[in-house]
Structure 1
Amino acid sequence: MTTAPQTDRGAPKRRLRHAVAAVLLGTTMLAGTAVVSIPPHAVAAPIATQGQSLSPLQSLAPLAERVSPAVVTISASHPAKSEGAAMRRLPFPPGSPFDDFFRQFGQPGDQPNQDQPDEDGPPAGGATSLGSGFIIDGAGYVVTNNHVIDGGKDITVTLNDGTELPATLVGRDAKTDLALLKVKADKDLPHLEFGDSDGTRVGDWVVAIGNPFGLGGTVTAGVVSARGRNINAGPYDDFIQTDAAINRGNSGGPMFNMNGEVIGINTAIYSPSGGSVGIGFAIPSNLAKHVVADLKAHGSVERGWLGVRIQPVTPDLAESLGLDKARGALVAEVTPDSPAAKAGLRLGDVVTGFDGKPVDSARDLSRRVADTTAGSEAKIDVLRKGKPATLTTRIEKQADEQRVAAADSGPDQAAHPALQGLKLAALTPELRAQLGLERGTKGVVVLGVSKAGAQPVKPGDLIEAVGDEPVATPAELAHKVAEAGKEGRKAVLLLVNRQGAESFVALKLVHA
């Protein structure tokens, strides 16, 4: 009969508790990474080009053996942090249920220092963050997440064979959470190639390799669960979701397709416990390789600037715009003297394509503009009053304070019985001063609503236009809404100024 292993009954409970904490919580202990011999041909050419695509029914061992030598562990020391700063979270609104569950992993200061374990938070002397990364060039360029090294110093890259190399920061980009490091070695280092993430399909097999909880090289596998995920981590969210096990310390590590190409950089997880529950997110390679190329060439990222504020097209807005479905990016503001203004973009235009590529959402436009080289021309496909048009613009370089094509979520577009329940008034000098509006602003002020939260407008809003036709009095507003009703439209588009920010809302119409 087999006897279960017994613990040392004489060992102090506190020591056992700290030992368990060191494993489960991931202290700054840098566990030895698995040593894998590097075949001679691994140095001569990018690893991803060797061998053939594997069938998902075969063992993943050959793939793991080929790519593991180019996957590294990254550590960086950080100053002492308060207990509250130990876990950095994705920017969800306070009180949101996701505020407690959606977390980034591998954060600076995430784990207590092993030399001075402390149950109550990071040690007084500082902390060391552990993350993952991968080599993309035999000369020693290493890709990782920005949040792994952000604010850190004495960055160290540990190779698969245990070799520790000091690293310098080439550049980083907080908006995409990517960073590029450089190490010097006495030999050409094994390296990986980026694959085409756009060719990745939901259901494709993927492999993740990294340094979870400081344990060293760890291989996990799963499938692509979804694409194009927006988790509110930044303005260019386009994450690949996977069920491959990803944990704290996997940050910055590669996600591979079955050809051994990097199609994602593991960055975030959804978890109620801080550990993997099968919902992880990776930055797609087609986004990352442009950012990495800029960081390598300039040390920073150069993005294109169009000069518009946009918002998603909701089903209600689509009805009011005469669209067959909710698609595109609705222009809510055009910056004067911007590339958008020079191209002739107007309020109410729906951008459906940019530079020959479709724009299905507001985020699509933001990413497409950002990826466009400053000084180059681009075609913009728009729907204006239901009719297609094509405009030409010359993209400019985005300054730090500029927005590429800022996407707003827009106010709620709940159902509303035409203008019933709204208390309206023309904008007087007194109301203009009370609302803090600029001189010359015109529109109809919403003084009150009968059912708070049930209408697309609220007290203090200024209705400036119906579609692209300005209104200055409640009578003009009622007339425009009535005209839309006679045309059989189910909703009408209102341009609303809310505390200085303009956006479109869809007002449901009532039909007898």
Structure 2
Amino acid sequence: MSPSSILRRHRVAALLGAALIISPVVVSFAQNSAGLSTVAATTQTPVAGITAPNGSFAPVIAVTKPAVVTITSIMKAQPQAGDDGSPLGGNVPFDQFFQQFFGDQGMPMPRTPPQQQGPRSEALGSGFIVNSDGTIVTNNHVIDGASSIKVTLDDGTELPAKLVGHDAKNDLAVLKVKADKPLPTVKWGDSSKLMTGDQVLAIGNPFGIGTTVTAGIVSARGRDLHSGPFDDFIQIDAPINHGNSGGPLVDVNGNVIGINTAIYSPNGGSVGVGFAIPSDQAQKVVAKLMKGGDIEYGYLGVQIQPVTPDVASAIGLDHPGGALVSQVTEGSPAAKAGIETGDVITGFGGQEIKDPKDLSRAVADVSPGAKETVNIWRKGKAMQISADVGRNAEDQKTASNGNEGRSPSAEQGLRVPTLGLGLTDLTPDIRDQLNLSENQRGAVVERVNPDKAASAAGIQPGDVIVGVDQTPVKTAKQANQAIAEAGRSGKKSVLLLIDRGDAQIFVAVPFAAG
């Protein structure tokens, strides 16, 4: 089919999908179903280290482009945009998230949502072949909700595809097609070696016009878009648009170092802010998905938070790092292993833990039932314990912060002038107002001076201080004494363990700011 035919086929979809930011492109099933334009493959090999200023990317594209495919997800027609009260018709979960996170500007994922013309519709995305037997990698949101899937190879061949496995948390899926000959493939690269400023190429089928290559650089690493528990996106400025989702991000040697997944767009098109799943993360998940079925994630059962410089100072660590345990779920693997609130997890399974994300990924990568060594910093000492990793069920969610802004009507309590806190003991009336159990102990924050350190640290009226510098406190007097002792010891900050709603959090409050 000629490029002009492709444009005629997908022009409506491209226009209607312009405000979206998941990159598949959607067209009516009833429209012309002819194949995409054919691009001849070549046997040229890539030139290692080639860069645009010194030469052409053509040798790299010659060996990578034949392995990039267009994925057509056929599904039942969805309600029209706005029928469910959302601008996207409620069809693309990831895009709904981006709308929520970025507001009306949106954060598109390069798939265009199915349009509602006729009984069925098509959503177009991209993918790439990782095994000559027809194994294909793409985004989960490209095939989510599909009743059938079709793959169009770079030479125009159309093949039915089988869904081998998918994982919504990592937004990855593996497909399989049967061909009468070995298919061209691309190789995985090492995304851990990427540096800001490195050149990259994004390949995919934007707006359904045919396989397209764009060039750019790595703009940033480790972007957390809050779309899932394992966010660690590569940010790039290579233009990606609707239909690019699932396509490969390759380096100048032609190796896949990412999977194009999302874009930020205030106008529906590329503005040079795109995001890709790193290959090191994707490759592990894909290897599991190739075996079929769902992925079982490990589960430890702790709420964790970052170790800030103030927290590190309060607990005697010489530098910030690790994951601070703010709460341990009763009966969880962590509780059974002896992990305690206030512990800082600095290592897991032989891997250094630099921040909470490191721990989340490390635990998730472990098969349920495995026994792993956990490195812990507890009350000024380093130690190791062994934990049996559990299974992470879908209903095991991180507790919400809750109770924000609640203020008890309490009797006048004791003052902590250095921090700007007014504390009082728990009374039956306060328990009722804060929905606290009868066995709850601690010091209630009655007042917070907006000009003092506690306010700057985020302490709120209604918070219940249950620990000071990893020592439990049951009353306002004990809390005041413990805070005063921390000040006399010469520490720069004091570590408070706060009960707030259904969650416990550590808050480090610097004395100097008081």
What's the counterpart of residue 475 of structure 2?
A: 473
What's the counterpart of residue 319 of structure 1?
A: 313
- The aligned amino acid for 1:82 is Q
Q: 1:162 aligns with which of 156, 163, 183?
A: 156
> Does structure 1 residue 464 correspond to structure 2 residue 466?
yes
SS in structure 2 at match of 1:380:
strand
1:482-493 matches, within 5 Å, as 482-493=484-495
Q: Distance between the aligned counterparts of 1:244 and 1:292, measured in 2?
A: 24
Mark the runs of 5 or more structure 1 residues left unpaired by the alignment: 1-16, 43-49, 113-121
Q: Distance between the aligned counterparts of 1:486 and 1:511, measured in 2?
A: 16
Q: 2:186 aligns with which of 173, 185, 192?
A: 192
Q: Does the 8 A contact of 2:403 with 2:500 survive in 1?
A: no
Q: Distance between the aligned counterparts of 1:198 and 1:291, measured in 2?
A: 16
Deviation, 1:123, is 4.2
Q: 1:63 aligns with which of 60, 63, 70?
A: 60
What's the counterpart of residue 326 of structure 2?
A: 332
Deviation, 1:195, is 1.7
Shift in CA distance, 69/510, structure 1 to aligned 2, threshold 3 Å: closer
SS in structure 1 at match of 2:287:
helix
Q: Distance between the aligned counterparts of 1:293 and 1:18, measured in 2?
A: 37
Q: Does the 8 A contact of 1:134 with 1:253 survive in 2?
A: yes
SS in structure 2 at match of 1:297:
coil
Shift in CA distance, 349/64, structure 1 to aligned 2, threshold 3 Å: same
Q: Does the 8 A contact of 2:492 with 2:512 survive in 1?
A: yes
SS in structure 2 at match of 1:273:
coil
1:9-408 matches, within 5 Å, as 21=15, 28=27, 33=36, 35-39=38-42, 51-56=46-51, 57-78=54-75, 79-83=77-81, 84-86=87-89, 89=95, 91=97, 98-107=102-111, 109=113, 112=115, 122-123=116-117, 125=119, 127-402=121-396
Q: Structure 2 length normalisation: TM-score?
A: 0.83
- The aligned amino acid for 1:424 is L
Shift in CA distance, 444/317, structure 1 to aligned 2, threshold 3 Å: same
Shift in CA distance, 509/372, structure 1 to aligned 2, threshold 3 Å: same
Q: Does the 8 A contact of 2:74 with 2:123 survive in 1?
A: yes
Deviation, 1:492, is 0.9
> Does structure 1 residue 445 correspond to structure 2 residue 441?
no
How many pairs does the alignment contain?
471
SS in structure 2 at match of 1:298:
coil
SS in structure 2 at match of 1:104:
coil
| 1:294-332 residue CA offsets vs partner (Å, 9 max, x unmatched) | 212131112212221111223332332333443211111
Shift in CA distance, 18/278, structure 1 to aligned 2, threshold 3 Å: closer
Deviation, 1:407, is 9.6
Q: Percent identity?
A: 48
What's the counterpart of residue 12 of structure 1?
A: none
Deviation, 1:253, is 0.4
* Further displaced range: 473-482 or 135-144: 135-144
| 1:64-117 residue CA offsets vs partner (Å, 9 max, x unmatched) | 1111111001111332223122475363695x6x2233412234526x4xxxxx
- The aligned amino acid for 1:502 is Q
What's the counterpart of residue 495 of structure 1?
A: 497
Q: Distance between the aligned counterparts of 1:511 and 1:126, measured in 2?
A: 62
Q: Distance between the aligned counterparts of 2:67 and 2:512, measured in 1?
A: 63
Q: Does the 8 A contact of 1:294 with 1:301 survive in 2?
A: yes
Shift in CA distance, 59/470, structure 1 to aligned 2, threshold 3 Å: same
* Further displaced range: 198-207 or 50-59: 50-59
SS in structure 2 at match of 1:440:
coil
Mark the runs of 5 or more structure 2 residues left unpaired by the alignment: 1-10, 20-24, 82-86, 405-414
Q: Distance between the aligned counterparts of 1:35 and 1:440, measured in 2?
A: 72
Instruction: Kindly report the root-mean-square deviation, in angstroms, between the aligned alpha carbons of the 2 structures.
Output: 3.1
- The aligned amino acid for 2:113 is G
Q: Does the 8 A contact of 1:131 with 1:211 survive in 2?
A: yes
Q: Does the 8 A contact of 2:424 with 2:446 survive in 1?
A: yes
- The aligned amino acid for 2:58 is A
Shift in CA distance, 89/358, structure 1 to aligned 2, threshold 3 Å: same
Deviation, 1:249, is 1.0
- The aligned amino acid for 1:37 is A
Deviation, 1:501, is 1.0
Q: Structure 1 length normalisation: TM-score?
A: 0.84
- The aligned amino acid for 1:66 is V
Shift in CA distance, 197/295, structure 1 to aligned 2, threshold 3 Å: same
Shift in CA distance, 146/20, structure 1 to aligned 2, threshold 3 Å: closer
- The aligned amino acid for 1:287 is Q
- The aligned amino acid for 1:495 is L
- The aligned amino acid for 1:136 is V
